[in-house]
């Protein structure tokens, strides 16, 4: 189902991205009702919702991004690399801001300020352990875009070679400490390319089919568990012993076939619903969040790291439907208000990151060009 004119398709993607961002916000705030509470209470209702949301919400972001067909049109390798460098630079910059914010609000200590060695190795070289957590997605997405661009430029055997390399990297990454969130990259590429396929072939998912897909995904999410590979050290969140949920940030996917099935169905369900939802009044605020999802993601990291520890010890548990709906609405409204308050500051932070990305990419490109031209110059 579609409504509106020819620009509708882009609007529906904004709605889908907005829904995905609301799921991120709600999923993170749900943690205060079952994770590390001082009173020891554990809301099974909150955990089951969290488990279901995490089964598909991050793959959904990759799928939506892939559905934007014209993002690589007329783009060179340097153009695509510059965008990816910008995302990685933004992750590093927000990480530094988060460390500074922790020092100001919680005092200077080993808990808030990493050692120089820890910062250089874990934060810079491995792009892990970000102070506000959510920038991990920017790093993974930056790499996914580069690989997706390579796949769109190649055909035949080269595509199969890239796919095989991704599979090997994915499997091998579980033998070593994670770097640049490589465990999330191959699944991210897969969902990115699925999004491109759906958009290129103009495959629309009807409203009823979307509801059925989403409902099935939510049901299947609670069946997932176990290890992806036999050589994994652990298959569960160390802070939630005996329980499993997909955590793409750590490469915890459980059963890979079930993960891909559940994530694909959930993501397709949200994509299918975004068209009909775009026709009603609720689409406007959702679309607004979708168009500013990067800003909301950065803001959410601060609430996750600095807000959740306080809220989990000061907000009681009520397992009623009305309570959770109110929590979702309030958390979303708080993020909207914060975005409006910090909109100018976020603009400048992103502009600075763009400058860093352009400089870094330009420096690398110039160095490569000089290396290529060195033999000629010598003769």
* Average predicted confidence (pLDDT) for the chain: 90
The secondary structure of residue 160, as a DSSP letter, is: H
Q: What is the dihedral of CA 277, 137, 115, 350, to 10 degrees?
A: -70
Question: Would you state the pLDDT for residue 74?
Answer: 84
* Among the ranges given (9-18, 255-264, 270-279, 327-336), the one the predictor scored with the smallest mean pLDDT: 9-18
CA separation for the pair 255, 378 (Å, rounded): 56
**297 in Cβ contact with 137 (< 8 Å):** yes
CA separation for the pair 375, 379 (Å, rounded): 6
Each residue of 23-65: pLDDT tens digit? 999 999 999 999 989 899 999 999 999 999 999 999 999 999 9
Question: Would you state the pLDDT for residue 50?
Answer: 97
CA separation for the pair 351, 328 (Å, rounded): 31
- Which residue would you say has higher pLDDT here, 255 or 307? 307
Give the mean pLDDT of 372-379. 53
The secondary structure of residue 307, as a DSSP letter, is: I
Q: How confident is the model at residue 154 (pLDDT cuts 50, 70, 90)?
A: confident
Question: Would you state the pLDDT for residue 377?
Answer: 42
Instruction: Select, from the ranges 88-97, 239-248, 254-263, the one with the highest average predicted confidence (pLDDT).
Output: 88-97
**313 in Cβ contact with 37 (< 8 Å):** yes
Question: How would you write 217-271 as a 3-class SS string?
Answer: HHHHHHHCCCCCCCCCCCCCCCCCCCCCCCEHHHCECCCHHHHHHHHHHHHHHHH
Count how many Cα atoms sit within 13 Å of the Cα of residue 342 in the half-sphere of its side chain: 16
Q: What is the CA radius of gyration of the chain?
A: 21
Q: How confident is the model at residue 378 (pLDDT cuts 50, 70, 90)?
A: very low
Instruction: Select, from the ranges 165-174, 209-218, 225-234, the one with the highest average predicted confidence (pLDDT).
Output: 209-218
CA separation for the pair 307, 347 (Å, rounded): 23
DSSP lists the bridge partners of residue 247 as 252
Q: How confident is the model at residue 371 (pLDDT cuts 50, 70, 90)?
A: confident
Question: Would you state the pLDDT for residue 128?
Answer: 87
262 contact partners, CB below 8 Å, separation of at least 6: 55, 56, 217, 220, 221, 224
The secondary structure of residue 135, as a DSSP letter, is: T
Question: Would you state the pLDDT for residue 98?
Answer: 97
Residues composing the chain: 379
| Other beta carbons within 10 Å of 111 | 10
Q: Read off the pTM.
A: 0.92
Question: Would you state the pLDDT for residue 2?
Answer: 53
Each residue of 32-41: pLDDT tens digit? 999 989 899 9
CA separation for the pair 323, 104 (Å, rounded): 33
Each residue of 177-192: pLDDT tens digit? 888 999 999 999 999 9
**Secondary structure of residue 43 in the 3-state scheme:** coil
CA separation for the pair 153, 296 (Å, rounded): 32
**236 in Cβ contact with 246 (< 8 Å):** no
Q: Is the per-residue pLDDT at 230 higher than 60?
A: no
Question: Would you state the pLDDT for residue 234?
Answer: 54
Question: Would you state the pLDDT for residue 109?
Answer: 84
CA separation for the pair 146, 137 (Å, rounded): 14
* Among the ranges given (49-53, 118-122, 369-373), the one the predictor scored with the smallest mean pLDDT: 369-373
**137 in Cβ contact with 58 (< 8 Å):** yes
**Secondary structure of residue 314 in the 3-state scheme:** coil
* Cα of 290 vs its chain's centroid, Å: 13
Question: Would you state the pLDDT for residue 99?
Answer: 96
Question: Would you state the pLDDT for residue 373?
Answer: 75
**204 in Cβ contact with 67 (< 8 Å):** no
Give the mean pLDDT of 344-356. 98
Question: Would you state the pLDDT for residue 324?
Answer: 97
């Amino acid at each position: 189902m579609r409504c509106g004119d020819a620009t509708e398709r882009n609007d529906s993607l904004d709605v889908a991205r907005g829904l995905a961002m609301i799921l991120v916000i709600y999923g993170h705030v749900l943690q205060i009702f079952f994770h590390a509470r001082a009173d020891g209470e554990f809301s099974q209702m909150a955990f089951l919702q969290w488990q279901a949301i995490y089964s598909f919400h991050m793959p959904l972001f990759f799928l939506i991004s892939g559905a934007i067909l014209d993002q690589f049109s007329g783009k060179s390798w340097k153009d695509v690399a510059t965008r990816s460098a910008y995302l990685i630079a933004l992750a590093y910059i927000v990480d530094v801001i988060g460390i500074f914010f922790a020092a100001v609000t919680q005092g200077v200590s080993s808990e808030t300020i990493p050692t120089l060695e820890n910062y250089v190795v874990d934060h810079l070289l491995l792009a892990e352990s970000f102070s506000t957590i959510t920038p991990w997605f920017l790093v993974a997405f930056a790499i996914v875009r580069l690989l997706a661009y390579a796949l769109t430029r190649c055909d035949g055997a080269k595509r199969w070679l890239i796919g095989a390399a991704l599979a090997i990297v994915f499997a091998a990454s579980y033998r070593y400490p994670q770097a640049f969130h490589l465990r999330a990259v191959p699944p991210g590429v897969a969902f990115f390319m699925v999004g491109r396929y759906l958009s290129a072939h103009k495959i629309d998912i009807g409203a009823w089919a979307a509801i059925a897909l989403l409902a099935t995904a939510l049901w299947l999410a609670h069946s997932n568990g176990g290890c992806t590979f036999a050589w994994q050290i652990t298959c569960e969140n160390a802070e939630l012993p005996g329980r499993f949920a997909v955590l793409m940030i750590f490469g915890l996917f459980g059963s890979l076939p079930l993960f891909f099935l559940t994530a694909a169905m959930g993501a397709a369900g949200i994509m299918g619903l975004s068209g009909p939802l775009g026709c009603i009044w609720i689409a406007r605020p959702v679309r607004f969040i979708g168009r500013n999802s990067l800003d909301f993601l950065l803001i959410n990291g601060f609430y996750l790291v600095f807000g959740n520890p306080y809220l989990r010890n000061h907000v009681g548990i009520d397992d009623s439907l009305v309570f959770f709906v109110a929590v979702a609405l309030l958390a979303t409204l708080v993020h909207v208000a914060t975005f409006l308050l910090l909109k100018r500051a976020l603009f400048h932070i992103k502009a600075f990151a763009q400058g860093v990305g352009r400089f870094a990419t330009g420096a690398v490109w110039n160095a490569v060009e000089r290396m290529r031209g060195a033999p000629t110059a010598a003769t």
